[in-house]
Amino acid sequence: MKMDSATVEIDGSVMEGGGQILRVSAALSCITGSAIKIIKIRAGRSTPGLRPQHLTGLQLVSDLCSGSLQGASIGSTDISLTPGKVRSGNHTADTQTAGSVCLLLQAALPCALYADAASQLLLKGGTNAEMAPQIDYTVKVFKPIVEKFGVHFDCDIRMRGYYPKGGGEVAVTAQPLKELQPVSMTDRGNITKIHGRAFVAGVLPFKLAKDMSAAAVRTIRKEIKELYINIQPVQEKEKACGNGNGIIIIAESSTGCLFAGSALGKKGVYADKVGIEAAEMLLRNIRHNGCVDEFLQDQLIIFMALAKGTSRIRTGAVTLHTQTAIHIAEQLTQAKFTITKSEDELSSGVTYIIECQGSGVVNPNL
């Protein structure tokens, strides 16, 4: 792998303009060996620049690639990352807030795949936090699908942490690979199973979990009559730090596609409302007949871009996050994406095929 001497400049304010640009850019910099400079970070947000979670994620990626990171401080809008060799072994990242461990993993996991041996990532922060996947989503939806690319990782939830304190802890072990395999997911088949968990932690009463579950089941029942729906109410005991409540509901299809709807409780919001919100999110994501939900869509782009060969994924409406990830992936790799609209007789909605000629990055350390 030749080290590219030219630094690639990334505009952090384009398109979705959030932390995702940082995660995808930093990971691809680490993997391809291209130095990057990201400017105008989160320029349009109410709190522009790096937040603790973004800073922790960048430091983790820099640590993983023996890199040198400039400009990395809270509120900074410009950073540079010059990557070195990807290092296996133990890496710890602590947001010291309820910053999402799942978002830390989004940035770090692709990097760890290109190390010379297994990596252990100890990630601390929020496990079930707003504006981010819940750890249950990462384990139950993201993990099985990303494994189709040849990825192998284990995720041990040691402690759950909620807003505002965090205090959660997840231990991830990732195995390196020679190259990622392309994935084709174009035929959804039928929804065969719907299950989930509704949880309360800390001082919150168990009744909240039962109410979230019951309201979610009622909502799904209106639309899907033929399936048994099992949403387990759970009282989080010793493995939880702080107070929180929430729900995640997962649907599985006959061809192995996975979809989710989730919601977190907030002060003053009725439990029923939380359950209904998650149920409606799930229903919205299975109406269109695509093979991934709106959240998995953008998380798969980096893997499609790195894989050797052509990947094809059928989706519902293509999100701004996904378009942004594609934009960054095309800037930092040789991958080429095309999005084709496909009118489907079966479902009312339109679906799209995201196709990618992957760049076929081979692990130079293995």
The reply to whether 298 sits in an annotated binding site is yes
Token pair 């400049």 in the structure block, residue: 9
Give DSSP secondary structure letters for 242-256.
S-EEEEEEEEEETTS
Give DSSP secondary structure letters for 283-311.
HHHHHS--SS-HHHHHHHHHHHHHSSSEE
The reply to whether 264 sits in an annotated binding site is no
3-class secondary structure per residue, 154-190 = EEEEEEEEECCCECEEEEEEECCCCCCCCCEECCCCC
Regarding beta strands 351-357 and 336-342, do their DSSP bridges make them parallel or antiparallel, or are they unpaired? Answer: antiparallel
Q: Decide if 124 contacts 168 (C-beta within 8 A).
A: yes
The reply to whether 235 sits in an annotated binding site is no
Between CA 253 and CA 333 the distance in angstroms is 32
Catalytic residue among 54, 288, 321, 327: 321
The reply to whether 295 sits in an annotated binding site is yes
- Our answer to whether residue 195 is catalytic in this structure is no
DSSP state of 180: P
Nearest to 115 by CA among 146, 84, 93, 92: 84
User: Which residues, in sequence order, are bridge partners of residue 334?
Assistant: none
Q: Decide if 169 contacts 159 (C-beta within 8 A).
A: yes
The reply to whether 297 sits in an annotated binding site is yes
The reply to whether 122 sits in an annotated binding site is no
Nearest to 62 by CA among 22, 26, 112, 113: 26
User: Where in the sequence numbering do the catalytic residues fall?
Assistant: 321
- Binding-site members for ATP are 106, 295-299
